Amino acid sequence: MSGRRAVTLVALREIRERLRSRAFLVSTIVLLVLVGGSTALNGVLAKETTYHVGVTAPVPAGLGAALDRAADPFDARVRLKVLASPAAARAALRDEDVDAVLLLGDDRLVFRATVDSELAAIADGGVRALRRHLPPAPELRTATIEPPDAKDTDAAVVVAAAGALLLLMSFAVYGQWVVSGVVEEKGSRVVELLLSAVRPQDLLAGKVIGIGLLGLGQLVLVAGLGAILLAAGAFDAPAELGGSLALVVPWFALGYALYAVAYAAAGALASRQQNADTAAQPITYTLLAAYFAGYVAVSADADGLVANLLTVFPLTAPLVLPARAALTGVPLWEHALAIALVLVTIVALVRFAGRVYAHGLLHAGSGLAPRAAWRAARRT
Amino acid sequence: MSTGLGLVEVVKRYGDVVALDAVGLQVGPGRLLGFLGPNGAGKTTAMRAVFGLVDLDGGHVLWDGREVGLAERLRFGYMPEERGLYPRMALGEQLVYFGRLHGLGAADARAAASAWLQRLELGDRAGARVEELSHGNQQRAQLAVALLHRPELLVLDEPFAGLDPLAVRTLAEVLRDEAARGAAVLFSSHQLDLVQDVCEDVVIVDHGRVVATGHIDELRRRSRRRRIDLRVEGAPDGWLPDVGGVEPVGSANGALRLAAGRDVDPEQVLDAARRAGRVVEFGYGPPSLAELFLELVG
């Protein structure tokens, strides 16, 4: 049989069998509930925003009411704070006593460092209503008194942390599926029959691809729900973060391929009595180490040397690169280098694992020490 | 004309232990070859070598004179010593899966699966998980997987082990039918009477070496020993014929079994028996396969 046909058959069996398993259904539902639930929670907590807007005296009659009416569709309220002078307004802004200062004489809405588009829209609508003007000409120009903060926005931090965590979890969970699949085949001894008709590397590839496609499907489902909620405005996040979120998908594929192949080899090396968990441990520890190294390095200095190194180092790249892309942006060459290095590592690992797999799977009973497996692999 | 499976000078060492020491055997299409030997003689290792599951230290595994590769193995059927199927996969689907792995199309695989389930009386269990099947039915399922794709070669490691007499009869029939359709059949067994019934040819291995090979009747005739069965009424207890080269092997219910050299004249034994009493049973012939086996590897 051609290798591709065997790989396809093996992958299809993995997908079919797992789609039916309760574990898959439950994990999918739990993920969807988590995403949906966190959104609902976000919605509840952000039920009503109150904006504090400074206005220099004198305040025209009806301004407060007009602003409140304009704020209503946004589930927000506006509190006016009357300030004595432009200097006082500037001071209030800098101290963050107010979110913005409305300078009616200048037709300007002044923020401290970043423009809040929702408040800008509310103020614009309120002032227009007060002046009985018609759209679309804007009533107000926005401005800031300080340069944008170097500090990351909260949303970027959330996306980076959640993205890295999601990747870590998915590598570990789907990797565990790979290990348990391999251990099951070895334990039930069906592997002897399989390998009489399928090359070990085809069996390995089919298993990794099948589970990977399932994982990708699950991830797309969850990410799709997240994207819909984002589009519906459930999250208070800037639109450009969608791009960072999108990076999670290709890096899932790359990182999963890397770690799943390693997991498969670990499963093959396990003894028949060993359970999947202990077999998976070396790889899971590596994965956790990669995650924490990335986490520490990026939180310490997202643009530092270590963070840059970990962005391209194959074992950490799948976790660090999407996170850094959300936080600070990653130059194109670094993307290219990271992808190239990960691909090279995957190819090397597939070759090694394919050989270890064959020897490990057929090594009945006792486990096979990696060194012995490596020696055996080199002989063939 | 296909020459079937050939193992030529096959060598496998595990450290200092020589598991296969230049083992050779041949199974042609339509032939049934019994593969015999005590535990640890190397039968399983040799059979696994046919499927590339053992890295050989020397020798060749040939099909029609050419080195066996994956393409050939897909036309072989295998029942490993270590039985095993996916425990949680439905039986019918499992058969289809293995049929497809061996190159059958989806429709062919489904048809073959249901035909074999029917023949092996598992027709109503197609939807059951393998782990839900009884031991005997799991064994049948394993056989069905080996047979599903109409293999040109069947390699069965201890297929009769653990079967009840009815299942033994069914399996013997299946093997004969497979050979009749033109498959080469190689199977190992410790049930030597059964092998004598089912097979024409045997290979006997011991300590990794072939100690006998050939047609069963031929091997039995070539043995230097002969078997004599005797029942004599009126003979005193413990009586033995006073003929050189004859020794008792055992006695049961008054019947005496003797082993004699091939050169011993059975008439002399019969005469001696007549002198001792009334001879009601007398049998003479080459050793059974079981006796031959003990003679060779005992």
Q: pTM for the whole thing?
A: 0.78
Token code pair at residue A124: 């614009």
Please answer yes or no on whether A189 and B78 come within 8 Å at the CB atom.
Answer: no
Distance from CA of A3 to the nearest CA of B (A): 10
Closest CA to B27 of B51, B68, B62: B62
Write the burial class of residue A12 (CB in 10 Å: 0-12 exposed, 13-18 middle, 19+ buried). Answer: middle
Q: Which residues on B lie below 8 Å from A6 (Cβ)?
A: 101
Same domain, B153 and B267: no
- B80: cis peptide before it, omega within 30°? no
Token code pair at residue B125: 């269990």
pLDDT tens for A126-160 read: 888 877 766 666 677 777 777 765 445 666 777 77
How many CA atoms, within 13 angstroms, populate the side-chain half-sphere of residue B61?
A: 22
The single residue listed with the structure tokens 């039986």 is B91
Same domain, B242 and B198: no
- A249 at interface of B, judged by CB pairs closer than 8 A: no
Token code pair at residue A256: 């999963």
For all residues of chain B together, what is the average pLDDT?
A: 91
Distance from CA of A182 to the nearest CA of B (A): 11
The single residue listed with the structure tokens 């002078």 is A85
Q: CATH 3.40.190.10: which residues of chain A?
A: 48-144
Same domain, B160 and B56: yes
CB A53 within 8 A of CB A98: yes
> What does the pLDDT profile of chain A (380 residues) look like in tens digits?
468 899 999 999 999 998 888 878 888 888 788 777 766 665 555 556 788 888 887 777 788 888 888 887 777 888 888 887 878 888 888 887 888 888 877 778 888 777 777 788 888 878 888 777 666 666 777 777 777 654 456 667 777 777 788 889 889 989 988 998 888 888 888 988 999 999 888 898 999 999 999 988 888 887 777 767 766 665 555 555 566 667 777 888 999 999 999 999 888 888 766 677 788 889 999 999 999 999 888 888 888 888 889 988 999 999 988 888 878 778 889 889 999 999 999 988 888 887 887 777 766 444 455 566 556 555 44
Please answer yes or no on whether B76 and A191 come within 8 Å at the CB atom.
Answer: no
Give the chain A residue nearest B143 (alpha carbons). A193
Closest CA to A172 of A268, A252, A66, A58: A252
Same domain, B110 and B156: yes
Identity of residue A54: G
Same domain, B138 and B268: no
The residue from B215, B242, B262 where one domain ends is B215
Closest CA to B169 of B201, B138, B200, B197: B197
Please answer yes or no on whether A193 and B53 come within 8 Å at the CB atom.
Answer: no
**Other C-beta atoms within 10 Å of A214: how many?**
19
Using the 8-state DSSP alphabet, how is residue A368 labeled? -
Closest CA to B112 of B76, B74, B148, B85: B148
Same domain, B181 and B44: yes
A345-356 CB burial, b ≥16 within 10 A, e <16: bbeebbebbbbb
Q: Give the range of the structural domain holding residue B165, as residue numbers without chain letter.
A: 5-215
Q: Which residues on B lie below 8 Å from A362 (Cβ)?
A: 53
Same domain, B88 and B206: yes
Q: Which residues on A lie below 8 Å from B86 (Cβ)?
A: 17, 184-185, 188, 190
Q: ipTM of the predicted structure?
A: 0.86
Please give the C-alpha separations between residue A358 and each of A198, B17, B197, in angstroms, as whole numbers.
11, 22, 39
A367: phi then psi, degrees, rounded to nearest 5: -75, 170
pLDDT tens for B213-268 read: 999 999 998 888 899 999 988 888 778 888 888 888 887 777 888 888 888 888 88
A312: phi then psi, degrees, rounded to nearest 5: -105, -15
Q: Which residues on B lie below 8 Å from A1 (Cβ)?
A: 70-71, 74, 101-103
The radius of gyration of chain A from alpha carbons, rounded to an integer in Å, stands at 28
Distance from CA of B214 to the nearest CA of A (A): 28
Distance from CA of A5 to the nearest CA of B (A): 8
The radius of gyration of chain B from alpha carbons, rounded to an integer in Å, stands at 23
Write the burial class of residue A120 (CB in 10 Å: 0-12 exposed, 13-18 middle, 19+ buried). Answer: middle
The residue from B215, B243, B263 where one domain ends is B215
Please answer yes or no on whether B102 and A197 come within 8 Å at the CB atom.
Answer: yes
Token code pair at residue A137: 């000409």
With 80 as the cut, is the pLDDT of residue B199 above it?
Answer: yes
Same domain, B62 and B168: yes
Residue A134: predicted pLDDT: 64
Q: Which residues on B lie below 8 Å from A378 (Cβ)?
A: none
Give, to the nearest 10 degrees, the angle between helix A117-131 and helix A63-71.
130
Same domain, B197 and B271: no
Top-confidence residue, A270 or B139: B139
pLDDT tens for B91-130 read: 999 999 999 999 999 999 999 999 999 999 898 999 999 9
Distance from CA of B79 to the nearest CA of A (A): 8
One DSSP character per residue, chain B reads: ----EEEEEEEEEETTEEEEEEEEEEE-TT-EEEEE--TTSSHHHHHHHHTT-S--SEEEEEETTEE--HHHHTTEEEE-SS----TTSBHHHHHHHHHHHTT--HHHHHHHHHHHHHHTT-GGGTTSBGGGS-HHHHHHHHHHHHHTT--SEEEESSTTTT--HHHHHHHHHHHHHHHHTT-EEEEE-S-HHHHHHH-SEEEEEETTEEEEEEEHHHHHHHSSEEEEEEEEETPPTT-----TTEEEEEEETTEEEEEEETTS-HHHHHHHHHHHSEEEEEEEESPPHHHHHHHHH-
Please answer yes or no on whether B88 and A17 come within 8 Å at the CB atom.
Answer: yes
pLDDT tens for B151-188 read: 999 999 999 988 889 889 999 999 999 999 999 999 99
Quote the CA–CA distance of A102 and A56 in Å, as a whole number.
7
The single residue listed with the structure tokens 């924490």 is A292
Residue B58: predicted pLDDT: 93
Residue A278: predicted pLDDT: 83
Q: Which fold has domain A48-144?
A: D-Maltodextrin-Binding Protein; domain 2 (3.40.190)
The residue from B193, B215, B237 where one domain ends is B215
State what percent of residues in chain B have pLDDT above 70: 100
Same domain, B265 and B210: no
Q: Which CATH number covers residue B172?
A: 3.40.50.300
Token code pair at residue B70: 């994956």
Distance from CA of B212 to the nearest CA of A (A): 28
**DSSP E strand boundaries for chain A:** 49-56, 76-83, 100-103, 108-111, 141-144
Three-class SS state of A301 = coil
Same domain, B100 and B246: no
- B73 at interface of A, judged by CB pairs closer than 8 A: yes
Token code pair at residue B114: 């249901």
Quote the CA–CA distance of A256 and A346 in Å, as a whole number.
10
Quote the CA–CA distance of B63 and B47 in Å, as a whole number.
14
User: For the sheet containing B246-252, what is the strand order?
Assistant: B246-252, B255-261, B225-233, B278-285
Number of domains in chain B: 2
- A372 at interface of B, judged by CB pairs closer than 8 A: no
Same domain, B133 and B153: yes
Quote the CA–CA distance of A321 and A251 in Å, as a whole number.
8
Token code pair at residue A158: 């959330």
User: For the sheet containing A100-103, what is the strand order?
Assistant: A76-83, A49-56, A100-103, A108-111, A141-144
Please answer yes or no on whether A189 and B87 come within 8 Å at the CB atom.
Answer: no
**Other C-beta atoms within 10 Å of A108: how many?**
14
Quote the CA–CA distance of A97 and A80 in Å, as a whole number.
11
